[in-house]
Amino acid sequence: MSKKLFIQTLGCQMNSLDSEHLLSELKTHKGYTQTEDMNEADLIIINTCSVREKPVQKLFSELGSINKSKKTSAKIGVCGCTASHLGEEIIKKAPYVDFVLGARNISKIKDIVDKKGSVEVDINYDESNYTFGSNGHSLYKTSVNISIGCDKECTYCIVPFTRGDEISIPSDMIISQVQKAVDGGAKEVMLLGQNVNNYGKRFSDGSPKSSFTQLLKDISHIEGLERIRFTSPHPLHMDDEFITEFATNPKISKSIHMPLQSGSTKVLKDMKRGYSKEWFLNRATKIRELVPEVRISTDIIVGFPTETHEDFLDTIDVIEKVKFDQIFNFKYSPRPNTAALTLESIVSDEEASKRLEEVIELHKIHQEELMHKNIGKTIKVLFEELKAGGEVSGFSDNYIQVFVKGSEELLGQIVDVKITSASRTTLKGEVI
C-alpha cells in the first residue's frame, strides 16, 4: 500500500502550485499518493501563508488539533511562507512537528521528509533551474512559475522576507513545460510570479535580459495553446508595449489583475508602490479603451496606518471610475520586518472595518451592473468540470465562470454559449 499524503493549502496561487510540486516530488521520489482524509494520512503538510496576521496566529492551535486527531505514526510538515518566516520557532513551539520547509525550498522535500527535526528555510535558495513534475488538478489548464521571489519593497508586505529576491525562470524551461502540458491536452496556461511583468530582469543561469512582453509573444507561438493568463502583474510595469500586446494578441485572456492597494497618491507613496492615482487611472482607462470586454480585478488595502478619510475617498473615487469586475479587499495587517510596522496608525480598527464595508457594498453594485451586461451575449467558454444537477462549468475568455446543462463531451472544448442569466459572480447559458 502506498503512503498517503494530506495537504492543506492556504494563501495565493503560487502556494497552490507549490503544493502541487510538493505532491509530485513526494509521489515520484517517495511513493506517496494524495488523500482528502486527514485521518488516514501518513504525512500531513500545511502549506502556510503569512501575508496577514490571523492565519499565522491560528497556525499553532490548528497544529495542536491535527496532532490530536492524526494517526499516531503520521508525520506533520509545515511548509510555505510562515515556515520561511518562523523557521525553527515552529518546532520549538510545536515539538511534534517533524519538519519545516520554507517557500522556495520545495525541491528539498524528498531529502527532509524522513529527517525528523529538519528546518530548511533559506529565502534565497535558487530553484529557478529545477524542473518539477506536473501534478495539475485540471487536464485542460496548467500553471507554470515564471519567476520566484520579489524585488519590490512595498512597505506593508512580508513576501520579500518569505520568498526572497526575484529570479526569473529561463524562458526555454517555461516554454517546454507549457508544451508538455499542451501535448497532454491543456488549452490554457496560467503564468505565475509575485510580479510577473518584471520578468526577465535577472536569471541565475546567465540568460540574457528579456521582458514579459517578449515571453508572452514566445509562449503564444505554441501550437494548440489557446489561452494565456498571468498573475500578478504590477501596475507600475504596465507600459504601452505590454498593453498593446495584451490588447492585440488573441491568445491572451482578456482578464487582468491590477492591484491598486490604495487610490491615494500619498498613501501609495507611503506604501512605496511607485505609481500615482493618475498613472493607475491612465493605465486602467487605456486597457478598457483598447479591450472593451476586459475584466479587471484588483486588491485593495483599507486602513493603512497613514490613510486619512480623504485618502480613503481617493480609493472610492478610483473604484467608481474603473468599476472593477472583482475586488479582493483587506484590512491592513501589520507584519513583522516590514517598513510600515513602525508607523503609528491614525486609523482605528472600527474605522478600518467601516471603510472595508463601504468598499464591499460599492463593489457589489458594480458587480451586478457589469455581470448583467452579459445577458443575451454569445461568448466562448472553455469547459472544465462536471457539476451537480447535470451542469458543466467552464470559463469565458475574460474569466467569468459559466454554467450550462450538458455532459462530459463538453469537457476540454471551447464552445459558443448564449448567456441567459447572471448572478454577481457567475453566468448561466445555453450551448448554441
Q: Which of 299, 317, 358, 391 binds ligand 5AD (CB under 6 A)?
A: 299
Q: Would you state the cell numbers that stand for residue 143, as one nine-digit string? A: 500553471
49 binds, among ligand 5AD, ligand SF4, none (CB under 5 to 8 A by kind): ligand SF4
For CA atoms 353, 354, 357, 358, the dihedral sign is negative
Identity at 226, one-letter amino acid code: E
Instruction: Pick the binder of ligand 5AD from 125, 132, 140, 156 (CB under 6 A).
Output: 156
Nearest to ligand SF4 of 160, 394 (CB atom):
160
Looking at beta carbons only, is 157 or 225 nearer to ligand 5AD?
157
Burial of 68 (0-12, 13-18, 19+ CB in 10 A): exposed
Contact between 49 and ligand SF4 by CB under 6 A: the answer reads yes
Residue number with the smallest Cβ distance to ligand 5AD: 299
- The stretch among 88-96, 121-129, 187-195, 325-333 that binds ligand 5AD (CB under 6 A) is 325-333
Other Cβ atoms closer than 10 A to 102: 27
Question: In whole angstroms, what is the distance from residue 179 CA to residue 185 CA?
Answer: 10
Among 162, 261, 306, 326, binds ligand SF4 (CB under 6 A): 162
The rounded distance, in Å, linking the Cα atoms of 179 and 129 is: 17
99, amino acid identity = F
Cell of 196: 510577473
Give the residue with the Cβ less far from ligand 5AD, 177 or 262.
262
Phi-psi region of 66 (alpha: psi -120 to 50; beta: other; left: phi over 0): alpha
The reply on whether position 190 binds ligand SF4 by CB under 6 A is no
298 touches ligand 5AD by CB under 6 A: no
Tell whether residue 50 is a contact of ligand SF4 (CB under 6 A). Answer: yes
Of the candidates 285, 346, 259, 353, the one whose C-alpha atom is nearest the C-alpha of residue 311 is 346
Query: Does residue number 66 form part of the binding site for ligand SF4 (CB under 6 A)?
Result: no
Residue from 4, 5, 7, 11 touching ligand SF4 (CB under 6 A): that is 11
* Terminal Cα-to-Cα distance of the chain (whole angstroms): 47
Residue 259 touches which of ligand 5AD, ligand SF4, none (Cβ within 5-8 Å per kind) = ligand 5AD
Question: Cell numbers of 180, please?
Answer: 508538455
Distance between CA 334 and CA 301 in Å, rounded?
Answer: 12
Q: Pick out residues in 93-112 that bind ligand SF4 (CB under 6 A).
A: 103
Contact range with ligand SF4 by CB under 6 A, out of 7-15, 37-45, 175-183, 255-263 = 7-15
The alpha carbons of the chain give a radius of gyration, in whole angstroms, of 22
Cis peptide before 232 (omega within 30 of 0): yes
DSSP annotation of 254 reads: S
195 binds ligand SF4 (CB under 6 A): no
Q: How far is the CB of 302 from ligand 5AD (least distance, A)?
A: 9
| Segment (H or E) for 43 | strand 43-48
Could you say which residues in the range 123-152 bind ligand 5AD, by CB under 6 A? none
Among 259, 263, 406, 429, which residue interacts with ligand 5AD (rule: CB under 6 A)? 259
Binder of ligand SF4 out of 4, 5, 6, 14 (CB under 6 A): 14
Asked whether position 271 contacts ligand SF4 by CB under 6 A, the answer is no
Select the residue interacting with ligand 5AD from 44, 51, 74, 216 (CB under 6 A): 51
Closest to ligand 5AD by CB, 233 vs 429, is 233
Helix (H) or strand (E) segment spanning residue 191: strand 188-192
Bridge-partner residues for 387, per DSSP?
391
- Number of neighbouring beta carbons within 10 Å of residue 416: 12
Task: Using the Cα atoms of residue 329, residue 335, residue 340 and residue 345 in order, give the sign of their dihedral.
Answer: positive
Q: Which of 82, 155, 261, 264 touches ligand 5AD by CB under 6 A?
A: 261
Q: Which residue has the cell 495584451?
A: 246
Work out which of 56, 59, 81, 415 binds ligand SF4, going by CB under 6 A: 81
- Which one among 138, 204, 214, 333 touches ligand 5AD, defined by CB under 6 A? 333
Lookup: cell for 160: 520579500
C-alpha 39/C-alpha 205 separation (Å) is 43
Please tell me the distance from the alpha carbon of residue 198 to that of residue 399, in angstroms, as a whole number.
23
Q: Which does 52 bind (CB under 5 to 8 A by kind): ligand 5AD, ligand SF4, none?
A: ligand 5AD
21 near ligand 5AD, judged by CB under 6 A: no
The Cβ of residue 137 has, within 10 Å, a number of other Cβ atoms equal to 11
Q: Is residue 272 near ligand 5AD by the rule CB under 6 A?
A: no
Asked whether position 49 contacts ligand 5AD by CB under 6 A, the answer is no
Binding residues for ligand SF4 (CB under 6 A): 11-12, 14-15, 49-51, 80-81, 103, 159, 162-163
Which residues of the shown chain bind ligand 5AD in the complex (CB under 6 A)? 51-52, 156-157, 259, 261, 299, 301, 330, 332-333, 335
